[in-house]
Amino acid sequence: MKILSVNAGSSSLKFQLYEMPEEKVLISGVFERIGIENSFYTVKINGEKVEKKVELPNHKVAFQILIDELKENNVVEDLSEIKGIGHRVVQGGAYFDKTEVVTEDVISKIDELSSLAPLHNPAAITGIRAAQEVVPNAIQTVVFDTAFHQTMEEETYLYAVPYEWYTKYKVRRYGAHGTSHKYVALRANELLGKEDTKLITCHIGNGASISAIKNGKCINTSMGLTPNAGLIMGTRCGDIDATIIPYIMEKTGMTPKEIDNALNKQSGLLGISGVSSDARDIEAGIKDNNKRCILARNMYVKRVVEYIAKYYVELGGCDAIIFTAGVGENSISIREKIIEGLLPLGVELDKEANNVRGKEALITSKDSSIPVFIIPTDEEVMIARDTYFFCK
């Protein structure tokens, strides 16, 4: 049975077509820098990887190219062979704590929650609508990033704001990237050979979050009501003093929508560097001794170190730290800087082992107090597993 996993990020779209239940990947690919200049995508089939440069103004264009690639590579003779399509959705709010089959009511609720994930939920809906149009007979499912974080305790997910904001408006911490955190935690347990673990999982890319996981359950996570909390990200500011918002509104006359746009799309690495939201561009700027790129990188690293240290204390120790996602898997220099910041915890980098991109690896020395792993995330296989359940 063929199952297609679609993972729409804020500036990317990953896809993998599986033969299930074998979990055999027939074709995979990723569209990168969507909505950013110099966009491109790569397709991998039969062990060969091809990169193509193309303008990707939005996720709808990316999805249509995805379908074209399936046909052109003869992975399917007819799109009716695809029995299920699973979509990653960042924000399920209080409505969803598990994977659901797509209905108009489900789409309506995802759309309603777009204000909590403005870079992601609309992109997911675009993907869902495109999939429904192109592959109308496939079962469509939505896998929510927020579901994994539903195990947090009330004192963790509530904010110290008027309690009625929670009861009336559902203001609370929801988290995101749950599918990724769950996958790498499961894999880390396999590597450690046990399940009663204390893990700190670092999903750091254009969007970024860190989770504290105890015995397979999330006890805390850095993202909050929306994905714009916690770490500094590509275009998101992460944690800030809340009073900055009314202060800037009074000074500039900006509307709430304009403020929201600035904090979600003009801040983070882009806002500090003035160059780009992409960590690769920041690293290129650092090589040219661009002081604002250096500043952006240092701020990014500092925030990651702060959260790891916080969760180390909250967990009462740590069995492993895991790096995953675009930056975590591929940025040798940023991983090195983060581990340097963890030296007070006794974490020691093995520079030779760290000289790797996109591969699973142990990157700390034998004397390190905590092992640090790179574990490439595989949200797509988690999505495929859940979708296959509904298609059997």
pTM: 0.84
> Of 97, 111, 145, 278, which residue is the catalytic one?
145
Task: Look up the CATH architecture of domain 194-374.
Answer: 2-Layer Sandwich (3.30)
Please report, rounded to a whole number, the percentage of residues in the chain having pLDDT higher than 70: 100
Nearest-angstrom CA–CA distance, 115 and 109: 11
Task: Give the pLDDT confidence score for residue 135 in this predicted structure.
Answer: 86
Mean pLDDT, residues 223-235 taken together:
94
pLDDT in tens, 234-272: 999 999 999 999 999 999 999 999 999 999 999 999 999
Under the banding of pLDDT at 50, 70 and 90, the label for residue 387 is very high
Token pair belonging to 211: 């989770």
Task: Give the pLDDT confidence score for residue 116 in this predicted structure.
Answer: 81
pLDDT in tens, 293-341: 999 999 999 999 999 999 999 999 999 999 999 999 999 999 999 999 9
Distances (CA, A) of 16 to 30, 202, 217, 292: 9, 23, 27, 37
According to DSSP, the residues that pair with 361 across neighbouring strands are 374
Torsion of Cα atoms, 67 then 68 then 73 then 79, to 10°? 50
pLDDT in tens, 43-58: 999 888 999 999 999 8
According to DSSP, the residues that pair with 5 across neighbouring strands are 16, 86
Task: Sketch the domain layout of the chain as residue ranges.
Answer: 2-144, 194-374
Task: Give the pLDDT confidence score for residue 133 in this predicted structure.
Answer: 84
Mean pLDDT, residues 73-79 taken together:
87
Task: Give the pLDDT confidence score for residue 59 in this predicted structure.
Answer: 82
Token pair belonging to 380: 């797509």
2-144 and 194-374 share one fold: yes
Task: Give the pLDDT confidence score for residue 115 in this predicted structure.
Answer: 81
Record: fold of 2-144: Nucleotidyltransferase; domain 5 (3.30.420)
Task: Give the pLDDT confidence score for residue 74 in this predicted structure.
Answer: 87
Asked if residue 9 has pLDDT above 80, the reply is no
Mean pLDDT, residues 197-206 taken together:
96
Nearest-angstrom CA–CA distance, 261 and 101: 31
Instruction: Compute the chain's Rg from CA coordinates.
Output: 20
Q: Which residues contact 279 (CB under 8 A, 6 or more apart)?
A: 205, 206, 234, 269, 300, 326, 327, 331, 334
Asked if residue 94 has pLDDT above 80, the reply is no
Between 202 and 8, the higher pLDDT residue: 202
Whether 145 is catalytic is: yes
Ramachandran angles phi, psi of 51, nearest 5°: -110, 135
